[in-house]
Amino acid sequence: MGFLIFAYRKLFLKRRIDDIDFEMMCLSQKKERITSNIGIMQQAFNSMKNQTNMFAQGAMYDSQSSIMQKYGDKNGNISAENRAAANYELQSSQMAITYQTQMANSVFEQSSQMQLTPLHAEDSQMTTRMANLESQSKMLQKELENVEKGEDNAVKNEAPKFGLS
């Protein structure tokens, strides 16, 4: 009778271990997709920031060129009386462009945090769940080893002896 109990427990443990392994495989695949999505989204936000910075550099160059055309002579030299006005206008336009760039980058950063935070949290939960499942699997494996030893002992003890000692 003990042999049957061990055999039943052994089947139950194997099935439970297989279920855990399957769940871990599914979680692993989902975790890979989330990690991939996080990487793609971070690249997209970085790309938007880079484009904004490149636009700002171009706008600053255009601003400088238009001021040179407005206040400069044919050779690009600015007269002393126009230099103060040109410098003021150049600084004003550069400050405005810098401010707009900082605001855009701030919006991109906030948007990035809003969209990536839930993904990072889900990734963390999956990591924790996978670690929990791994420890369950190890405990079940040890129990399975003990059940197999008990099953072997039960077979030996329940086998007919036929008067042999």
97 pLDDT more than 60 = yes
C-alpha distances in Å from residue 53, one per residue of 43, 60, 73, 101, 162? 15, 11, 31, 7, 91
The reported pLDDT for the residue numbered 153 is 86
pLDDT (average), residues 43-69: 90
- C-alpha pair distances (Å), 11 with each of 5, 8, 139, 144: 10, 5, 16, 9
Residue 164's pLDDT band, with cuts at 50, 70 and 90, is: low
Element (H, E) at 59: helix 2-71
For residue 77, what is the DSSP state?
Answer: P
Which pLDDT score, from 0 to 100, does residue 121 have? 96
- The pLDDT of residue 163 is 62
Length of the chain in terms of residues written: 165
pTM of the model: 0.70
By percentage, how much of the chain surpasses pLDDT 70?
A: 97
The 3-state DSSP class for residue 78 equals strand
